[in-house]
Structure 1
Amino acid sequence: MHSDFNIYGTQLNSRLILGSALYPSPALMQQALQQSGCEAVTLSLRRQAPEQQGGEQFWQLIRELKLQLLPNTAGCHSVQQAVTLAQMSREIFQTNWIKLELIGDDYNLQPEPMLLLQAAEHLLADGFEVLPYCTDDLVLCKRLYELGCKVLMPWAAPIGSGLGVLNPYALRTLRERLPDATLIVDAGLGVPSHACQVMEMGFDGVLLNSAVALAKDPVLMALAFSQAVAAGRSAFLAGAMPKQDFASPSTPVLGMPFWLQEAL
């Protein structure tokens, strides 16, 4: 299991990755990212085109933060769309990292598994370092890992739902069956305790956007998630006590108090 947070050879100290969309203002986005201590940020070329003059303030703030950029292919529904957007993002942002999103259902934004595999294979062959957004399906994750995706980003619940971990068994199984993969839970986490939960399972990191950006106080929520991720990681490394179906007192109860023995 990983002691260091490693994304394709790049070491990060913070295990929290934040998105850059949905914030009330660019300034609040910048403050939240800084408060979180994150070292990587996701961003979408489709939603924020640098050539548009209206987005100049946004890009200036991103550049000032000096974070690792993780472009994504949000909104793509075909292999060709995803590949083209990834290539454009690499040219503009000067990074081989790409968060591969290829949606198969517009209702819950669930990834399309067969096309996701095809797109990942194409991008890996083109020199990209692919971080696929996927479901918690073990077979799909194994196929992506076997293709060469060293980092996988399974969901906890649908994007933006805030429902938390819907299938703890599936996530625990992924962690156990893919011990050498870097696994980052992406999508569906709504509150810091959700992030702490998956980190306690042994996941390597957490990616968030809506839970922070849509909070009443995004800056404070970014700090809360940062602390939760750190606490969950520490708990995992410390090792939890075993569960049992009966009470076990922390203070021994055998024998009687010494003063009661003297009275008798």
Structure 2
Amino acid sequence: MMSQHDNLIIYGQSFTSRMLIGSALYPSIDVMKAAIVNSASEIVTVSLRRQSPERNGGNVFWQEIQSLGLTLLPNTAGCHSVKEVVNLAKMSRELFETNWIKLELIGDEYNLQPDPINLVSAAETLIKEGFKVLPYCTDDLVLCRRLADSGCEVIMPWGSPIGTGQGLANPQALSAIRHRLPDTTLVIDAGLGLPSHAVQAFELGYDAILLNSAIAQAVDPIAMAKAFAHACQAGRQGYLAGRMPERQVAQPSTPLMGMPFWHQDQPRN
């Protein structure tokens, strides 16, 4: 178990879990709920456009989400302009009664890459409107620095394109972001497909991960949710423990001198 002083902090709120989880793509509402519960996540992302709750669409879905009693993180999925983002964010704030918003602004339909040109402008506008912005972006260091400078306390670079399950395509870039933004909460969002990918993200020093497809589209989403929950703990604990030095040559793990099991001159069978 993680100690309480190692909680994840997002905009001043403390969470024991370091996994954020999505609510889309599950084969059923029951599986979705069970997967979320077994992930131990305390934050779930929701899309206003996907279920249209403002028009009473998917009432059962929203009731089940609310029954979990978790922190909701609305997103602006499907937006292609700053105007669309701001309008959807305002609707989400009114409906979900939260000023948290996961900023998504698509720049390319082929790989669903976030728009690096307008993302900073959208973040600045939302912050002026009183939102606490969690922007989804690429692994570009300059872009991440601009987002941090704009007032984003949390930044969420992708591991690889969304829904690919390829893991961390560019660990060096992600490591550079961690190094240059030591005081910013960093979340790997998109591209993770295996629990080992999550472990790698935490070993790089990232504070949390955000998952959807890797769990929802697994053969057994509930079992996969549990696996990722364990991976988050293993990766974080491994990072805090501090890895052994990397060496270019082999070094014996059991020295010959002073061995407690047998005398050096004693013949061994």
**TM-score, structure 1 length as denominator?**
0.96
Q: Take 1:145 and 1:62, find their aligned partners in 2: how far apart are those partners?
A: 31
Q: How does 1:217-228 map to 2 (within 5 A)?
A: 217-228=220-231
1:4 is displaced (CA, Å) by 3.1
Q: Take 1:21 and 1:187, find their aligned partners in 2: how far apart are those partners?
A: 13
1:145 aligns with 2:124: no
Give the unaligned 5+ runs of structure 2. none
**Equivalent residue letter for 2:209:** V
- Which residue of the partner structure matches residue 263 of structure 2? 258
Distance 1:90 1:253, change over 3 A: same
Q: Take 1:53 and 1:27, find their aligned partners in 2: how far apart are those partners?
A: 20
SS in 2 for 1:32: helix
> Which of 25, 38, 54 is the matching residue for 1:35?
38
> Which of 39, 63, 87 is the matching residue for 1:60?
63
**Equivalent residue letter for 1:258:** H
Give the unaligned 5+ runs of structure 1. none
- Which residue of the partner structure matches residue 52 of structure 2? 49
The number of equivalent residue pairs is: 262
- Which residue of the partner structure matches residue 198 of structure 2? 195
Q: Indicate if the aligned counterparts of 2:23 and 2:46 stay in contact, CA closer than 8 A.
A: yes
1:253 is displaced (CA, Å) by 2.5
**Equivalent residue letter for 1:172:** S
Q: Take 1:254 and 1:137, find their aligned partners in 2: how far apart are those partners?
A: 50
Q: Indicate if the aligned counterparts of 2:79 and 2:105 stay in contact, CA closer than 8 A.
A: yes
SS in 1 for 2:205: coil
SS in 2 for 1:114: coil
Q: Take 1:48 and 1:206, find their aligned partners in 2: how far apart are those partners?
A: 24
1:37 is displaced (CA, Å) by 0.6
Q: Take 1:250 and 1:24, find their aligned partners in 2: how far apart are those partners?
A: 49
> Which of 8, 18, 22 is the matching residue for 1:19?
22
**Equivalent residue letter for 2:105:** L
1:135 aligns with 2:149: no
**Equivalent residue letter for 1:168:** P
- Which residue of the partner structure matches residue 240 of structure 1? 243
SS in 2 for 1:251: coil
SS in 1 for 2:78: coil
Q: How does 1:73-88 map to 2 (within 5 A)?
A: 73-88=76-91
Distance 1:255 1:239, change over 3 A: closer
**TM-score, structure 2 length as denominator?**
0.94
SS in 1 for 2:118: helix
1:142 is displaced (CA, Å) by 0.3
SS in 2 for 1:47: helix
> Which of 118, 123, 133 is the matching residue for 1:120?
123
RMSD: 1.7
SS in 2 for 1:108: coil
Q: How does 1:172-187 map to 2 (within 5 A)?
A: 172-187=175-190
**Equivalent residue letter for 2:39:** S
Q: Take 2:246 and 2:61, find their aligned partners in 1: how far apart are those partners?
A: 48
Percentage of identical aligned residues:
60
Q: Take 1:111 and 1:41, find their aligned partners in 2: how far apart are those partners?
A: 21
